[in-house]
Structure 1
Amino acid sequence: MVLEAAELEKQLGDLPAWQCQSGRLVRTLTFRNFADALDFVNRVGKLAEEANHHPDILLHNWNQVTLTLWTHDAGGLTLLDVNLAHKIDAVAS
């Protein structure tokens, strides 16, 4: 079920590093080098496989990773996205 605006705003309070852009959760992280960025992408990939929920992942500028979350089949943001964002934040710290 797609989150209503009020619920989404409440959920984003717990995800300060994420921005809501065009109905999607987006976060960009910068790493020391390409190897660290790639390692992070692989860790996110493992989380995504475990959750059976897959973000768009862009590795760019050799050390930056941008993640975009939304639930394609629901047509918007759901608790699946929020939960995966929390898991991603845990491996990002």
Structure 2
Amino acid sequence: MTQLLTKTEIQEQAKVLSGWTVEESKLHITRTFKDFIQAIEFVNKLVEPAESAGHHPDIKISYNKVKITLTTHDAGGLTQADFDVAQTISQIK
């Protein structure tokens, strides 16, 4: 099983993720786009990196807003995999 990060490790890693917040052992970010089409195009860009990492975000789409939530469900909280995927997502335009 994947090892959970400590509170200190989570705080340290969260400092370098612009726009992400940590709530209830989950990483969250909401991205806003010009319209629904751009929001969907962004979501489609998440498929390959998520599949490659074997770690998939929860995604909520509301017109031009995309809310992404990361947590490691089987570990019951945040792991290094969540921060790695968050870093990758942060680089996607």
Q: TM-score, normalised by structure 2?
A: 0.94
One-letter code of the match for 2:7? A
Sequence identity (%): 41
Q: Quick one: distance in 1 between partners of 2:10 and 2:28?
A: 14
Q: Which residue does the alignment assign to 1:90?
A: 91
Q: Which residue does the alignment assign to 1:38?
A: 40
Q: Which residue does the alignment assign to 2:5?
A: 3
Q: Quick one: distance in 2 between partners of 1:18 and 1:5?
A: 16
Q: Quick one: distance in 2 between partners of 1:55 and 1:19?
A: 14
Q: Mark the runs of 5 or more structure 1 residues left unpaired by the alignment.
A: none
One-letter code of the match for 2:50? A
Report which of the two has the higher share of helix. 1
One-letter code of the match for 1:84? V
Q: Quick one: distance in 2 between partners of 1:56 and 1:75?
A: 15
How far residue 50 of structure 1 moved from its aligned partner, in angstroms, is 1.1
Q: What SS does structure 2 have at the residue aligned with 1:16?
A: coil
One-letter code of the match for 2:82? D
Q: Quick one: distance in 1 between partners of 2:77 and 2:37?
A: 32
**1:56-75, aligned counterparts within 5 Å?**
56-60=58-62, 62-75=63-76
Runs ≥4 in structure 1, deviation > 2 angstroms?
Answer: none
Aligned residue pairs, count? 91
Equivalent in 53, 56, 62 of residue 55 of structure 2: 53
Q: Mark the runs of 5 or more structure 2 residues left unpaired by the alignment.
A: none
